[in-house]
């Protein structure tokens, strides 16, 4: 129930990107379920997810022809996300996050593919 209220109170990090928004909602809801986040934590985590996925989508566009630079940029984005996330979570939630992160649906590179459909479409056609 609080999820609907939280969605209306979050600020946009970047220009509207439907794929980023959809992936943000999806991963944030999974994190609530797996890690036992309360409403305040959910809002913070959702904002962090929005930020990291928007940055990842931009990096993918910017470095589409430079795989090493893209990989380095995505690594930096994920490191920044986790540094901020770890300041929010309790010890129990950190343990739950470590477990959650091993699941395929929580994989950062899979999320990046979700927010960059043109890259994903090209890969499927080949």
Number of residues assigned to the chain: 126
Domain holding 109, by residue range, is 18-125
Model confidence at 29: pLDDT above 60: yes
Model confidence at 3: pLDDT above 60: no
Higher pLDDT, 37 or 109: 37
> What does the DSSP assignment read for 74-86?
HHHHHHHHHHHHH
Residue 80 buriedness (CB in 10 A; 0-12 / 13-18 / 19+): middle
- Amino acid 8: pLDDT: 41
- pLDDT single digits (tens) 97-107: 999 999 999 99
Higher pLDDT, 5 or 24: 24
Number of domains present in the structure of the chain: 1
Highest mean pLDDT among 1-5, 46-50, 103-107, 117-121: 46-50
- Whether 55 maps to a domain, the answer reads yes
Higher pLDDT, 11 or 114: 114
- Whether 53 maps to a domain, the answer reads yes
- Amino acid 63: pLDDT: 95
- Whether 76 maps to a domain, the answer reads yes
- Whether 103 maps to a domain, the answer reads yes
pTM of the model: 0.79
Average pLDDT score over residue span 7-26: 70
- Whether 11 maps to a domain, the answer reads no
Angstrom distances, CA of residue 101 to CA of 19, 82, 96, 118: 21, 11, 9, 25
- Amino acid 116: pLDDT: 84
Q: Indicate the pLDDT class of residue 74, thresholds 50, 70 and 90.
A: very high
Contacting residues for 84 by C-beta, under 8 A, at least 6 apart: 48
């Amino acid at each position: 129930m609080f999820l609907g209220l939280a969605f209306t109170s979050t600020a946009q990090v970047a220009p509207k990107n439907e794929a980023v928004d959809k992936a943000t909602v999806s991963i944030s809801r999974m994190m609530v379920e797996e890690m036992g986040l309360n409403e305040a934590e959910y809002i913070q985590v959702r904002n962090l997810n929005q930020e990291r996925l928007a940055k990842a989508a931009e990096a993918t566009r910017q470095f589409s022809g430079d795989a090493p630079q893209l990989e380095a940029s995505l690594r930096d984005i994920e490191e920044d996300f986790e540094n901020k996330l770890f300041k929010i979570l309790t010890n129990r939630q950190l343990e739950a996050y470590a477990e959650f992160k091993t699941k395929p649906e929580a994989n950062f590179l899979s999320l990046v593919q979700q927010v960059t459909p043109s890259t994903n479409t090209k890969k499927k056609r080949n």
